[in-house]
Structure formats: structure tokens, C-alpha cells
Amino acid sequence: MEGGSFKSTGKKKARIEIIPLIDVIFFLLATFVLFVLSLNKLQSLPVQLPVGVPSKNTTPPKMVTLQISDTGTLYWNREPITMSELSPRLASYQQANRDDTRILITTDDKALFGQAVAVLDQIRLLNIEQVSIDTTKTYPTGR
């Protein structure tokens, strides 16, 4: 016998190839995703959107800014006032701007909460409804 002997037992060991299996799984997944996306039907209703009309009054509304400092000082448009002056000023402002009474209350994080509540109470007593509140947070520098 030439070249040695080779015995064949007739049994071959079974092997599962993973790479073709992964390819088939990804193909099925992609097909499923595309099929599901094609099933979604977008349904909508016709909507008549409003069209903006320019205002005849081009002047911006006059807004009063009330500032409350950390020391409790009130400022009416950057002019210092006392708490006793607040109510008469609010009343005269409301009389002058009957249809467009707007107030912006600004504070910082060190302002006293009680002072801000007192200002809001004065505004509420005059039935002024258009009130905005702006707070500013100051962050410490360094550690």
C-alpha cells in the first residue's frame, strides 16, 4: 500500500455553520421591518389653519417691570419705590392702560419670598390678571 492507510469509518460529524444562519436572520428581520412599515397608513383630516393678520397698532404693549432685590427694595421700571407707593402706582397704571395692563415681576434667588407674595397680593387686590414672574438664578463661582 502506497502512502499509508486511511480508514474511513463512514460516520461524519455534524457541524452547524453560524455565519449563514446570521445572514438569514438579518434578512428575515429586515423583511419584517419593511413589511410592518408598509402596513402603516397615515390618515389625516383637512384642517383650515388661521391666517395671521397684521395688527393696526404697531406699538408694543407697555409693560411695567417690578423688581424685588435681595434687600427687599422694590423697583418700578428701575426706579426705587417703597411698598406704600406700590398700590397707588398700580392703580394709576391700571387706569391709564385699562385694556392692556401687564406686569412683569423679576427677582433673583436671594430675594425674600414674603416680599414677592406681598407684591402679588397688591396686584391681586386690583384684579390685574396679566402677570408674569421671572426669576434669575445666580451660580457661585469656584468651589
List CB contacts of 129: < 8 A, sequence separation 6 or more: 101
Stretch (H or E) spanning 103: strand 102-108
The predicted pLDDT at position 60 comes to 55
Label the pairing between strands 79-81 and 74-76.
antiparallel
Quote the pLDDT of residue 141.
66
Q: Does the 63-136 domain belong in CATH 1.10.3470?
A: no
**How confident is the prediction along the chain (143 residues), in pLDDT tens digits per residue?**
455 566 666 678 888 788 888 999 999 999 999 988 888 776 778 888 788 777 665 555 578 899 988 888 899 988 999 889 999 999 998 888 877 788 998 887 788 788 888 999 999 998 888 888 887 666 666 55
C-alpha dist (Å) from residue 30 to 17, 19, 21, 37, 99? 21, 17, 14, 11, 62
pTM: 0.52
Taking residue 74's Cβ as centre, other Cβ atoms within 10 Å add up to 20
Where exactly are the structural domains of the chain?
A: 63-136
Question: Three-state SS for 9?
Answer: coil
pLDDT at position 7: 63
Q: What is the pLDDT of residue 111?
A: 80
Fill in the DSSP letter of residue 77.
T
Report the pLDDT value the prediction gives residue 25, as an integer from 0 to 100. Answer: 94
The predicted pLDDT at position 81 comes to 92
- According to the model, what pLDDT value does residue 73 have? 87
Q: CB-based burial of residue 66 (10 Å sphere; 0-12 exposed, 13-18 middle, 19+ buried)?
A: buried
